[in-house]
């Protein structure tokens, strides 16, 4: 049985003074943001898919996004859920207040459970004030590892950017090809930084001097160009094409390991003879390396692609990271789950699934190893 919630699109309530909203799961992320902007508010989690992904899907995957560098992931913005359990019972978890610690946190458990524990039919979200001021900087570096070092320099300058995205040279070339921009000409790697709030200009200035000291060429983007750059970043994973075997990954590593990991990725691509481009929600240490080979190179190339993927995931784990920062495990990443989690943890997760869904009818074969 396939269940579609796409007609559940009502924004049930917006409570500006409480900074909350109640929505049905089929509401599109961008539509919620447009509705609450009228009240000077925003729903912070903004996956690059925000124009078409739903709040229900965002909650089920605990989606991240660009603004998570400052405002946290979806779980940090979900206060309460209405959930239909596997036996048809409707339950409400959580509370309408920002604080609340009564009992086990079932709202947090449901968030990111990838549809395996229940069907989310109502969501109470926490909203944030729309910043009055926003500043965007584009810092171009000669190469990718230098740009990754820039991420740490921003931290040392004690600034918390709202957006901190890292794009490598190959991604810049692909964007230029698709959108007619001239990003690659401006540098070998781009760190895109946005500060927000009343201190936005001062924070941007502190970032500019920290990155310039590392040799970056930093430009203060006018608001139109800045929006265009952020928009290009949202498109940076590219469109599907038929003549490639291509896999986009989603590992995360501790921020201090970004520079090492980026250098390792580049070496891996050379060793396995696969192509590589990388974008990263660098403020969270969350990287999306995309590896690909030409289909025309045949099965051996496909095997090289798989080997590169496996090695990239292993390396992320060795550095203290995770196999998935925001996209979830789904089906594809189940093969790596036991690399990250002990048999005791896998067993506990299977038992939780058993409690919520004894017949195994909700998204079977996804998210956990059972
Ligand atoms: C170009 C592109 C960019 C992306 N960028 C990001 C990004 O920046 N950050 C990020 O985190 N993700 C990103 N994603 C991944 C994806 O968009 C997100 O995971 C998003 O949250 C999925 O929402 P959806 O509405 O498309 O959900 P769907 O794909 O419809 O569902 C996702 C999963 O949740 C389950 N589910 C959906 N609704 C419910 C519900 N109401 N109750 C229970 N289970 C449910 C589904 O069964 C499925 O397992 C991106 C994807 C693409 C294609």
CATH number of the domain to which 205 belongs? 3.30.70.3450
Residues with CB under 6 A from ligand 1: 5, 25, 47-49, 53-54, 56-58, 60-61, 63-65, 114-115, 119-120, 237, 326-327, 363
Q: Tokens 């926003």, residue?
A: 134
d(CA 295, CA 242): 8
The per-residue pLDDT for range 196-252, each reduced to its tens digit, is 999 999 999 999 999 999 999 998 877 677 788 888 888 776 666 667 888 999 999
Give the model's pLDDT for residue 239.
62
Look at ligand 1, atom 31, and give the residue with the nearest C-alpha: 57
Count CB atoms within 10 A of the CB of residue 320: 12
CATH of the domain at 104: 3.30.465.10
Please indicate, yes or no, if residue 81 is contained in any of the structural domains.
Answer: yes
d(CA 143, CA 140): 9
Q: Directed axis angle between helix 144-156 and helix 200-213, to 10°?
A: 130
**Would you give the distance in Å from CA 241 to the centre of its chain?**
23
Q: What atom in ligand 1 is closest to the CA of residue 83?
A: 42
Assess whether 43 and 120 both reside in one domain. Answer: yes
Residue 327 CA, ligand 1 centroid: distance in Å: 7
Last residue of one domain, picked from the residues 202, 234, 266: 234
Please indicate, yes or no, if residue 212 is contained in any of the structural domains.
Answer: yes
Please indicate, yes or no, if residue 171 is contained in any of the structural domains.
Answer: yes
Number of structural domains the chain divides into: 3
Assess whether 124 and 16 both reside in one domain. Answer: yes
Please indicate, yes or no, if residue 5 is contained in any of the structural domains.
Answer: no
Q: Which residue positions in the chain have pLDDT lower than 50?
A: none
Using DSSP bridges, classify how beta strands 275-281 and 41-42 pair: parallel, antiparallel or unpaired.
unpaired
Measured over the CA atoms of residue 179, residue 184, residue 187 and residue 190, the dihedral's sign is: positive
Residue 212 CA, ligand 1 centroid: distance in Å: 37
Please indicate, yes or no, if residue 273 is contained in any of the structural domains.
Answer: yes
> pTM to 2 decimals?
0.95
88 CB-contact burial (10 Å; exposed 0-12 / middle 13-18 / buried 19+): exposed
Q: What atom in ligand 1 is closest to the CA of residue 50?
A: 17
Assess whether 121 and 212 both reside in one domain. Answer: no
Residue range(s) defining the domain that contains residue 183:
134-234
Give the model's pLDDT for residue 229.
86
Last residue of one domain, picked from the residues 234, 266, 297: 234
Asked whether the beta carbons of 223 and 255 are under 8 A apart, the reply is: no
CATH of the domain at 279: 3.30.70.2740
Assess whether 230 and 322 both reside in one domain. Answer: no
Assess whether 177 and 272 both reside in one domain. Answer: no
Last residue of one domain, picked from the residues 234, 259, 290: 234
Please indicate, yes or no, if residue 220 is contained in any of the structural domains.
Answer: yes
Assess whether 241 and 339 both reside in one domain. Answer: yes
Assess whether 249 and 311 both reside in one domain. Answer: yes
What tokens appear for 46 in the block?
A: 């903004």
Please indicate, yes or no, if residue 2 is contained in any of the structural domains.
Answer: no
d(CA 370, CA 366): 9
Find, among 190, 281, 284, 179, the residue nearest to 232 by Cα.
179
Give the model's pLDDT for residue 241.
64
Beta bridge partners of 195: 135
Assess whether 85 and 124 both reside in one domain. Answer: yes
Give the model's pLDDT for residue 151.
96
Q: Measuring CA to CA, how many Å separate 214 from each of 15, 138, 284, 287?
A: 45, 14, 21, 22
Give the model's pLDDT for residue 370.
77
Assess whether 58 and 105 both reside in one domain. Answer: yes
Q: Tokens 């995931």, residue?
A: 313
Please indicate, yes or no, if residue 363 is contained in any of the structural domains.
Answer: no
Find, among 75, 128, 134, 127, the residue nearest to 106 by Cα.
75
Look at ligand 1, atom 30, and give the residue with the nearest C-alpha: 57
d(CA 31, CA 261): 36
Q: What are phi and psi of 155, to 5 degrees?
A: -60, -45
Assess whether 55 and 111 both reside in one domain. Answer: yes
Q: What are phi and psi of 156, to 5 degrees?
A: -70, -25
């Amino acid at each position: 049985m396939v269940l579609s919630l796409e007609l559940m699109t009502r924004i049930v309530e917006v409570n500006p003074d409480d900074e909350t909203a109640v929505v049905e799961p089929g509401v599109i992320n961008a539509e919620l943001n447009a509705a609450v902007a009228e009240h000077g508010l925003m729903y912070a989690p903004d996956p690059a898919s925000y124009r078409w992904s739903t709040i229900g899907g965002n909650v089920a995957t605990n989606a991240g996004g660009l603004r998570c560098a400052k405002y946290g992931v979806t779980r940090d913005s979900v206060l309460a859920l209405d959930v239909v359990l596997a036996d048809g019972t409707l339950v409400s978890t959580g509370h309408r207040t920002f604080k609340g610690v009564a009992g086990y946190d079932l709202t947090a458990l449901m968030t990111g459970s990838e549809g395996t524990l229940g069907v989310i039919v109502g969501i109470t979200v926490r909203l944030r004030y729309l910043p009055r001021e926003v500043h965007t900087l584009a810092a171009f570096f000669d190469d990718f590892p230098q740009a990754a070092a820039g991420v740490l320099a921003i931290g040392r300058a004690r600034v918390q950017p709202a957006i901190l995205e890292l794009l490598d040279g190959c991604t810049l070339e692909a964007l230029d090809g698709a959108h007619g921009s001239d990003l690659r000409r401006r540098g070998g790697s781009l760190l895109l930084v946005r500060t927000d709030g009343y201190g936005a200009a001062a924070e941007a200035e502190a970032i500019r001097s920290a990155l310039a000291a590392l040799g970056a060429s930093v430009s203060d983007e006018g608001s139109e160009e800045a929006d265009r750059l952020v928009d290009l970043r949202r498109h940076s994973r590219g469109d599907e094409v038929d003549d490639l075997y291509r896999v986009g990954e989603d590992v995360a590593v501790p921020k201090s390991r970004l520079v090492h990991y980026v250098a390792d990725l580049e070496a891996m691509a050379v060793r396995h003879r696969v192509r590589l481009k990388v974008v990263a929600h660098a403020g969270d240490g969350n990287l999306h390396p995309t590896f690909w080979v030409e289909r025309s190179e045949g099965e051996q190339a496909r095997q090289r692609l798989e080997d590169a993927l496996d090695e990239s995931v292993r390396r992320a784990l060795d550095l203290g990271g995770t196999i998935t920062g925001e996209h979830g495990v789904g089906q594809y990443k189940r093969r790596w789950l036991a690399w990250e989690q002990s048999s005791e943890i896998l067993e506990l997760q299977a038992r939780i699934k058993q409690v919520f869904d004894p017949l195994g009818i909700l998204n079977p074969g996804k998210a956990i190893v059972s």
